[in-house]
Amino acid sequence: MRKINQPFYNLKPDKREKIIHAALQEFAENGYEQASTNNIVKNAGIGKGMLFYYFKNKKELYLYLIDYSLAIITNEFLGKIDTNEPDFIERLRQIAKIKMAYNQDYPNILGFLANVYIQEEIELPENLTKRYEEIINLRHSVMYENIDTSLFREDVDREKAYQLIGWSIEGYQNNLMKQFKHQNVTTTNMDPYWDEFYDYLKILKTIFYK
């Protein structure tokens, strides 16, 4: 991939992020083949000529967004998780809070990357494929590294417990995100929801821990 034109990086951050957000949303909703650059420039508030001044073509924009998204996931999500927390349920509580803030700031990245690596509409450069694999490994590490398995009841299958706990927390979080899909979470008092969430975590600990 050629180096992106310097004028793109010379844009004011808010203008640059608006272009990135518009492109991520379009690709996340429609995939690579069906994504419309006309929709991207319309939602970004720029001329089509400017988009192709910054990026040579649609594919180059797409590859740039993959590179951008992988960096965001690494630094703004996985990189913020404290793997020194040995309690699996507490680890997931921490991840849930980070993920909530992450999805608020970067709402289209997960959907975009899911399209990229599940649909596989274009062949990706080896370096992007390798980085994605590294992120999968990093995700496994931040989930399970340094977990104190002695906290679990001896009659519980720990691998199944991991899955059930993870599904429970993810399900609650997905339900919460649907409720706030069209709201600004930063202006909402989230304390009652987190209190409810912690109550559910206590129940999970009662079920699975000694």
CATH superfamily, with its number, for domain 6-208: Tetracycline Repressor, domain 2 (1.10.357.10)
- The pLDDT tens digits for 82-139 are 999 999 999 988 988 888 888 778 888 988 888 888 777 788 889 988 988 899 889 8
Residues of the chain with pLDDT under 70: 1-5, 177, 180-188
Q: What is the pLDDT of residue 2?
A: 44
* C-alpha atoms less than 13 angstroms from C-alpha of 127 in its C-beta half-sphere: 6
Domain-by-domain residue ranges, the chain?
Answer: 6-208
